[in-house]
Structure 1
């Protein structure tokens, strides 16, 4: 009996709902029929637009979150890159570039007898330790971190979508920033003696080998700069034809060619 009453109640409710639904449809249909053709067209257009609309109640929130994500990435990058920036700051003004050894024996020593300067070796050591610092972020399945990583922007990376993990993306960004800053500082050197030139080539070759160990592919400018510094006066002009003009001018000036 209870089941029957329940079923009857459900049927009645459905019928009542259908009746109300039909009344609503009839009211809309009656309204449309009584309106003019132009108003009817406007009404149908508005109704279709509302039914098919894809809109957000808070359109500014995604933009603000995206901006905040970019600022967080930039802040994190600045923190990670700060030690390298500090070590390279003033690199172009080091006194070694203009120094001339008074000892003939020292000045005639081959380049392989030199060692990179301390600030350059510190940069290399810091870069080689970075993968260990980023490794924990790849060991944990952090969905929120993954979303933030994909939405944020890192300096010097044009196509971040091609990277599969956070570590390689960050390492390339830091390595590219190091290379760009080193090139910028090197091209600001005003004068080079023979001793200073040998030391500079040694420093840059060491840093270049570290960047190669990182697997950095975009090192053409860095390699061009080393080649222009390392070539002799007779072949400089021939080599310079295929190098960036600004780089050629700066190196020609500092080498007094």
Structure 2
């Protein structure tokens, strides 16, 4: 991993909610660098601001102050149409609740990002089949979500997130609904894909065992970063945008 290749930069980021006469600071003065090829874990207890920070990084919410820069573009200044196009090109998502479309089978769910990207049908079908094979579901192509276990549904979610080779994958408590065996399998799959394709994984969790998979752990409390840890200690270069 090249520590000078910053794929995500966050500067002076605040998220403030107006609750009547009271202001609630969900995020306070966040400064953060995430590097290409890195597995970055946003860690902390419930209510610490983890999901709010993920939403900011993914462009799902606008900051109250400050900025987020991803792949060289300041997403915090984009409108909704620009953000949708940016996410389609650069991002993949894995959710705790799987978020598969119930009326589509596994193959159709995985092929969906390729369809949105304008990839022709024969190519997207081939690539979706390859990804489902990679996650151990070659015999489940025509199965619908209701016909699969939680672990199998999350494998479909992983295949869908990675099929278009996005530069950044966002995973919000991706194993929260899984047993320990499925959790280990799912995490190892994600780590293998990230390393193979030199992608960046942003992982939100409150689970210390999950955090152990990360190269970079960002610990939040009350909306602030209280600790950052790296497996490999290297100098981190700051730059303005």
TM-score where L is the length of structure 2 = 0.26
**Structure index of larger Rg:** 1
TM-score where L is the length of structure 1 = 0.25
Of Structure 1 and Structure 2, the greater strand share is in 2
Of Structure 1 and Structure 2, the greater helix share is in 1
